[in-house]
């Protein structure tokens, strides 16, 4: 089970997490999890460039080890990057010491002050340690591009109908989500631009 729009009741319970970035410029923040995946990430970057859109990529450490060139490439193109753990471990199912070591192992591969827990699942004792080194970035809009039962049109609807100024939006540049995400992304960008939204990378420190 997952929520396309993060319920308002959840956010006050986890005040140390960043769920959205309020601003007066209609900026929204597209994020892509689970890369880099060369063919998918490349196609994603081409689409973003067509719309002059910046985004944030939460990278898996072991993927970056295989494709290290993406760290500098993403930065060069004006995007930001974040730690998504080394092996995409589920915090709820992983002993805390092991989880923290996995996040640190990712940090050995590339540097960032942003971190998103895989699946959004992290225990309080894990978060207490991780937040000493990172801003924990969550989201308020989930595209559901990872769900095989969700087609591209529904993915577009999930994002466009729930995005407001400051929204942090989750997509995935993974093989699993590729067909849905790459079909949906141009429509998401076009429709949100038509509503006056601007696509920015998550900065550090946060504005």
Point out the catalytic residue in the list 34, 84, 172, 200. 172
Point out the catalytic residue in the list 33, 34, 102, 140. 33
DSSP annotation string for 113-141: SEE--GGG---HHHHHHHTTTSEEE--SE
Distance between CA atoms of residues 55 and 39, nearest Å: 17
Omega within 30 of 0 (cis) for the link into 172: no
- The neighbouring-strand residues paired with 169 are 30, 141
| Token couple for 90 | 């589920």
| Token couple for 187 | 């429509």
**151 belongs to the catalytic site:** no
End-to-end CA distance of the chain: 32
**140 belongs to the catalytic site:** no
Which active-site residues does the annotation give? 33, 172
């Amino acid at each position: 089970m997952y929520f396309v729009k993060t319920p308002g009741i959840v956010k006050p319970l986890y005040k140390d997490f960043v769920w959205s970035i309020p601003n007066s410029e209609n900026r929204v923040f597209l994020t892509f999890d689970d890369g880099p995946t060369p063919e998918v990430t490349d196609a994603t970057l081409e689409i973003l460039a067509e719309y002059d859109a910046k985004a944030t990529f939460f990278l898996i450490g072991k993927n970056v080890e295989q494709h290290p060139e993406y760290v500098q490439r993403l930065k060069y193109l004006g995007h930001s990057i974040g730690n998504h753990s080394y092996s995409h471990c589920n915090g709820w199912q992983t002993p805390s010491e092991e989880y923290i070591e996995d996040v640190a192992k990712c940090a050995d591969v590339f540097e960032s002050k942003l971190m998103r827990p895989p699946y959004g699942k992290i225990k309080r004792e894990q978060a207490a340690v991780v937040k000493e080194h990172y801003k924990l970035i969550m989201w308020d809009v989930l595209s559901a591009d990872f769900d095989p039962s969700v087609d591209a049109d529904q993915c577009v609807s999930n994002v466009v109908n729930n995005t407001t100024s400051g929204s942090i939006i989750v997509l995935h540049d993974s093989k699993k989500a590729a067909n849905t995400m790459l079909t949906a992304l141009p429509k998401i960008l076009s429709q949100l631009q038509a509503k006056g939204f601007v696509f920015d990378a998550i900065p550090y420190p946060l504005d």
